[in-house]
Structure 1
């Protein structure tokens, strides 16, 4: 009753691994704009949509303050340092804490998380101190008269 054929496992093709994310791109970041022809096919517009959102009056944000706002379902924070305003994502990319609970490092123009002590540059969103590894999204902000206006791209 012996068989001359040895047992071999059934070979199946392995599924391809998922495409890796770029290093430094968090899973929650806003997608980069698509090619114009793809955008036009999907949305009817050839460029990403931008919307100017008036957040508040200039005097409502004191110097050195961190203030939370919600724009189209996204949590952002506005920081005022003298006459300069900065708008970035509000969530810490390490512990998901609210960065408005942290503090501003004026010398480095950075926001520091109170939970993990990670720091991010307010001008670029890039991490400055560990354990922060992923950048924050940065939004264009300006003052027109006494209004603070953020340009939100989606």
Structure 2
């Protein structure tokens, strides 16, 4: 007996469904700051640049130091690792300076009213 055609795929089948998680209110973070949030097993560095928010892994890809303790560079849209000085692009997670050579994961951010939500896989 020959196998029949495969059934149509269901939306989201084979992929993890992402969840939007509220991490804070907009007014809880000053501009040019970073803050760590632990969300569903992910250590996230939430960064505010003016009225924009960015979320990336809080762990430096060079060594396991917290990125949220580093300096935010608004003009460059970067976050610096406080330990060895690597900087990371807040939009892509790509390293902009050594010693880091690997990107850190980024997470989509959504603003709903005054709430800041991060999309967690």
What TM-score do you get using the length of structure 1 for normalisation?
0.69
If asked which structure has higher relative contact order (CA below 8 Å, sep 6+), I would say 2
In the alignment, structure 2 segments of 5+ residues that lack a partner are: 1-5
Secondary structure class of the residue paired with 1:59: helix
State the alpha-carbon separation in 2 of the partners of residues 83 and 105 from structure 1. Answer: 14
Considering only CA atoms, is the larger Rg found in Structure 1 or Structure 2?
A: 1
- Residues 23, 117 of structure 2: 8 Å contact kept: yes
Provide runs of 4+ in structure 1 moved above 2 Å.
Answer: 44-48
Partner of 1:112: 80
Secondary structure class of the residue paired with 2:20: strand
Q: How does 1:64-143 map to 2 (within 5 A)?
A: 64-143=32-111
Q: Between Structure 1 and Structure 2, which shows a larger proportion of strand residues? A: 2
Shift of 1:105: 1.4
Secondary structure class of the residue paired with 1:95: coil
Aligned residues: 112
What TM-score do you get using the length of structure 2 for normalisation?
0.86
Secondary structure class of the residue paired with 2:27: helix
Query: Superposition RMSD on alpha carbons, in Å?
Result: 1.7
State the alpha-carbon separation in 1 of the partners of residues 81 and 46 from structure 2. Answer: 15
